[in-house]
Amino acid sequence: MKYRELGGTGEMVPEIGLGTWKYSGGPEPLRKGIELGANLIDTAEMYRTEDAVGVAISGRRDKVFLATKVLSSHLRRDAVLKAADDSLRLLDDDVIDLYQIHSPNPGVPIAETMGAMEELVDRGIVRYIGVSNFSVAQMREAQQAMTKYPIVSNQVLYNLKRRQIERDLIPDCVENNITVIAYTPLADGSLAGKSRFRPDKGGEVLERVAKEVNKTRAQVALNWCLSRPNVIVIPKTNSVERTIENCEASGWYLTPAQVAALDEAYPL
C-alpha cells in the first residue's frame, strides 16, 4: 500500500482507505483492509456503522486512522460536541483522528460550527478537522472562520463518470494543501463491471486498459483516481475478496497515455 500525506499535517494515510456507507460485511473485510495497509476507515454519524467499525478495530486501534462525520443537522456548538461524544461511545474509543462536517448547513453560522470543531481539537478528542461535500467557496469560508487549525481534507464524490471537481475543487485543494477523499470511486459499481448492460464506449476503453495492465476494471478505475494530485479513495465493499482487490489498486501506476485514454473515454 502506498501512502500520501494528509493535508500538510505530516500524517501519512493510505491512498486507498475503507468506506462504510451501507456497510454490512461484519468485521472481517475491514480487518483484512487494515492488514493490507488500508488503515483509514471512514464512517459517519449518518451511516449508523460506527458501532460496527468499533467492533472491527477492537484490539487494532493503534494501526487505524479513524475518520467519522457529524451530521449537517448537528452543527450548532453544543450539538457538535454531543455528536462527537456519541460517535466515540459507539466507536468505543476516546479520540477521532479525522472529524468531518458531513455537508454544509447554511442555517448555522459557519463560525459557530468551526469554533466547536476547534474546541474538540483543544480538548484532545479530535486530531484533525475535515469537511465533506463543500464547494471551494464553502471551504474558504470555513477556513476563514477558524483561528487555530487548518482544514486538512474535503470528502467529495469523484470517479471516472463524475469528474466535475476537476474544474475548480481539485486545483484549489492542491493550492491549499487539502486532501481530496473520493467517495463512490467506482460509481454505482458499473466501473467495476457490475452491470447487466454491455459496456459503453467508456467501458470498452476501461476493459482494454485493464487487459493492458493485467488488472481488474475496478483496480484501473481506482488507480485512475489516484493519478490526480492530492486524491485518495475510500471504496466500500462487504467482501474480503473485494477488499483485497481494491487494495491491489495501489502500488503501481497507469501510464500517462492510459490516463489520457480514460479521460477521453469519460469526458468531463
DSSP, collapsed to helix, strand or coil, labels residue 236 as coil
Query: What do you get for the CA distance between the two ends of the chain, in Å?
Result: 29
β-pair type (65-70, 96-101): parallel
Active-site residue 47, yes or no?
yes
Nearest to 47 by CA among 244, 242, 247, 236: 236
Counting Cβ atoms within 10 Å, is residue 78 exposed (0-12), middle (13-18) or buried (19+)? exposed
Determine which one of 3, 23, 47, 266 is catalytic: 47
C-alpha grid cell, residue 10 = 505530516
Cα 42 off chain centre by? 7
| Contact yes or no for 38/66 (Cβ under 8 A) | no
Active-site residue numbers? Answer: 47
